[in-house]
Amino acid sequence: MFICFVLVSYVLMRSSKYIQSQFSFFFSNKDRYGLFDNNTSSDVRYALILLSQTVLFSGFCLYDFFSTYDKFLFASVPHVYLLLLFIIVIALFILIKWAVYMFINWIFFYKTKQKLWISSFSSVIIWSGFLLFPIVLLIVYFDLNAQISVILFVIVILIGKILLFYKCFSNFFNKFYGILHLILYFCALEVIPDLILWKSILLANNSLVLNF
């Protein structure tokens, strides 16, 4: 947690203008390339740090959830393995979604639209990390109630989904006749993958219990 705090402070101190520009760009309709295009190597490095931070915090929130609601799992499996499992699963999930977005959007949309969506998706992941930071701090240092932490975590996810829904509409389906396509696209690439992720985590937990 201390290392994450230092890294976030360093990134905010060095690249606050870059982060502000990404925020402004997200809510504009201007065409520009993706998160890692037309930026300096430092900007790319800062973005990767913030993306990694979100992965770590998400993994820790899952760790905290199962530590409360699955006592048998935590009594059976070493905690280090569980924490690593959740972090790796979240990282793989984001990478796979990134690849699926690239493939699907490459088929149906122009290259500019594809890069805009990847940029927007990456920005939402980064902002989710900022929102998760105080939640994880409360969990670690103040033993935040498990039910409250779950509610806050779900709120962060819902905020991210709303932002992605808005960007999906403005980027791909900003015409009235595109509403049906918007719903199909969003459900197929945002709702269903999250359900698959949750089922995969449960299966991985069961596999660890059997192995240990």
In tens digits, the chain (212 residues) has pLDDT values of 888 888 888 888 877 777 777 777 777 766 555 454 455 566 778 888 889 999 999 999 999 999 888 888 888 888 898 999 999 999 999 999 888 888 877 776 767 777 787 888 888 999 999 999 999 999 988 888 889 999 999 999 999 988 888 887 776 666 655 566 677 777 777 888 888 999 999 998 888 888 87
The answer, as to whether pTM is greater than 0.85, is no
Which amino acid appears at position 104 of this protein? Answer: I
**CA dihedral of residues 178, 28, 155, 174 (deg, nearest 10):** -10
The DSSP string of 62-119 is HHHHHHHH-HHHHHHS-HHHHHHHHHHHHHHHHHHHHHHHHHHHHHHS-HHHHHHHHH
